[in-house]
Amino acid sequence: MFKKILVVMKYPIFIVAILVGIVSCEKDFKNIGENLLDDNLFSTGSYSAQIKAHSIRVNSNKTNGMGHYLLGYTTNAQFGSLKASFVSQLNLPKSNPSFGNNAVIDSVVITIPYLSTLDGTQDATDPNDPTKTIKVPNYELDSVFTSGTNPNFQLNVFELGTYLNPLDPNNPYVENELFSDDVFLKTGSPLYSGLVSPNRNDTLMVINRYQYENASLTNRILYKKDTIKLANSKPSLKIPMNKQRIKQIFQDNASSSHFASNENFKHYFRGLYFEALNSGNGTAAMYLNLADAYMTIYYTQTTVDDEEATEDLNGNGIKGELNIVYPTAETFVYSLSGIRVNLFERNYNGTLAESYLLNPNVTNGDDKIFVQGAAGSDGIVHLFGADANTNDIPDEIETLRTKNWLINDAKLYLYVDPSNSTDQYPSKLYLYGIENGLNYQTYEIMNQGITQLGGDLVLDDEDNPDYYLFHLTDYVSEILKPDTEVTITDFGIKVYDSSDLPLSATDTIMRKYNNNFKGVVLTGKNVSLAPRNLKLDIFYTEKNQ
């Protein structure tokens, strides 16, 4: 099937002409068919094909170069626990950044904006006057998933001990691919350790600025407070880092060759490791756009200058003084840019999925199919039964090829197991072809061009998850032709992620990304749930005898 599509795409003008012809013929057939059906020469019917399925573990996904990254800890009875961590390089803001005279770090904070949507305004206490109430933007957090009365997770942030090579060490001419089960080293004790709880009201922070009366830095005076907030007061995750460790790594070595270039810096300070762990107090996980994340070093340096006649730089009430010494608030901003990798660690011990993933019934199919993204599990679907005569064509297909049916539709139904609900259902599943150990993008040739096969979640009358539906009309039509060139193949079912989308119509190999952690339990061959079993229904027209 996939080779055939490639040939079609090689001659776009030719295929347009063919599709126009097909559309015209279909219209003619439908018009003629109406009269023929009226004369009882043709009839329609339906047929349920043999089908079975089982689940497989997905040990890893490619996770560098993604749009969003998952951070947090989540668990449920069906799929067990997932710890989602990530590593990221930092970007040097300038070569050999100078901290100036007598610089002292006031605070170091990593800021990662939440994915959020503005929804009007809300009342809040005025940070400058606690007795007053002011209107502030009201944001709703997107892509944040929590459970329990106190949803949070333990977050540790370490200095990364592994260099993130942008090129493949085995082939330095191609980009390096990094995966969710890769092992990265952590250096030293945590730069931060604490609980993280998503908070849509986390819109600002106050940085205390200090000056010191002596060289030993024992007597400090608070000279100002800086209120820091993102544009439009968007909420963000704020992680305070260990000031002393940052001083040793960044400030004390700023003039060395380690900070002479961005490449030198990334070999010296290899990045940060954000490790998520179970806090024991509910769960929380969130998708983050790291392209907008950064680490800010807030520091104060000493400046010596002359005041203008109208200036009072040192705040002593006297203007126009010469050679005065006063504190200046400064910052250095290191963006979390470069290579970033999501890390997924799953634990299926004692869960419903455990035995199905360890010992799938490949021969007869299983009664439950487990599909979950983020290095979770996929379903494997086999159509049309066994091949008893071992000619590489299922016996059922050989029988159906004698029918000479015109295929009107072919629907693959994947029903949600109602007895095993999950916290987060995927809104869409994705179908891919499996051939000779490779996973292929799967397309239908439609009147509008090449498109995906469906897979949207259908809700019942009470808005509960009911089933996922794929249309395999073109595929079934082709494989029932005796002289077809279409490959008879198994199909994989995975949780849909926007990163699954092909880059172009000629992109036939299934992409290795997926960090959508949502999951669903589907019914396979289950006698007790027979009406909701996995099925392929074929609708056809045939000539009456």
Averaged pLDDT, 259-269 = 96
- If we measure between CA atoms, which residue out of 491, 509, 488, 485 comes closest to residue 4? 485
The answer as to whether 344 is a domain residue is: no
- The whole-number pLDDT of residue 98 equals 92
- The whole-number pLDDT of residue 157 equals 98
Q: Name the band, by pLDDT with cuts 50, 70 and 90, for residue 71.
A: very high
Give the Cα separation of 233 and 109 in Å (integer).
Answer: 17
- If we measure between CA atoms, which residue out of 500, 522, 413 comes closest to residue 452? 500
Give the Cα separation of 210 and 106 in Å (integer).
Answer: 7
- The whole-number pLDDT of residue 443 equals 53
- The whole-number pLDDT of residue 15 equals 35
The answer as to whether 255 is a domain residue is: yes
Q: Are residues 299 and 411 in the same domain?
A: no
- pLDDT of 16 > 50? The answer is no
- The whole-number pLDDT of residue 33 equals 42
- pLDDT of 19 > 70? The answer is no
The answer as to whether 39 is a domain residue is: yes
Element (H, E) at 81: strand 80-88
Q: Could you tell me the two tokens for 450?
A: 């090449």
The answer as to whether 343 is a domain residue is: no
Averaged pLDDT, 413-435 = 86
The answer as to whether 346 is a domain residue is: no
- If we measure between CA atoms, which residue out of 74, 75, 147, 152 comes closest to residue 351? 75
The whole-chain average pLDDT of the chain stands at 84
- pLDDT of 434 > 50? The answer is yes
Q: Name the band, by pLDDT with cuts 50, 70 and 90, for residue 446.
A: very low
**Domain region containing 377:** 2-60+351-543
- pLDDT of 489 > 50? The answer is yes
Last residue of a domain, one of 309, 338, 367: 338
Q: Are residues 23 and 93 in the same domain?
A: no
* Beta pairing, strands 80-88 & 69-76: antiparallel
Vertex 414: Cα angle to 362 and 511 (nearest 5): 75
Last residue of a domain, one of 338, 366, 395: 338
Q: Are residues 97 and 51 in the same domain?
A: no
Q: Are residues 324 and 403 in the same domain?
A: no
Q: Are residues 427 and 531 in the same domain?
A: yes
Q: Which residues contact 27 (CB under 8 A, 6 or more apart)?
A: none
- The whole-number pLDDT of residue 447 equals 33
- pLDDT of 14 > 70? The answer is no
Per the structure, the count of domains in the chain is: 2
Element (H, E) at 145: strand 144-147
Question: pTM surpassing 0.75?
Answer: yes
pLDDT over 70 for what percent of the chain? 88
The region of weakest confidence among 48-62, 295-309, 351-365 is 295-309
User: What are the C-alpha distances in Å from 455 to residues 36, 413, 431?
Assistant: 35, 9, 7
Q: Which residues contact 6 (CB under 8 A, 6 or more apart)?
A: 506, 508
User: What are the C-alpha distances in Å from 307 to residues 102, 320, 496?
Assistant: 20, 5, 63
The angle, 0 to 180 degrees and rounded to 10, between the axes of the packed helices 2-10 and 12-38 is 120
- The whole-number pLDDT of residue 29 equals 40
Q: Are residues 80 and 129 in the same domain?
A: yes
Residue with the bigger pLDDT between 340 and 234: it is: 340
The answer as to whether 297 is a domain residue is: yes
Q: Which amino acid is at 163?
A: Y
- pLDDT of 28 > 50? The answer is no
The region of weakest confidence among 29-38, 135-144, 384-393, 516-525 is 29-38
The answer as to whether 199 is a domain residue is: yes
Last residue of a domain, one of 286, 312, 338: 338
How far, in whole angstroms, is CA 313 from its chain's centroid? 50
Alpha-carbon dihedral 239, 240, 242, 244, rounded to 10 degrees: 140
Q: Are residues 148 and 27 in the same domain?
A: no
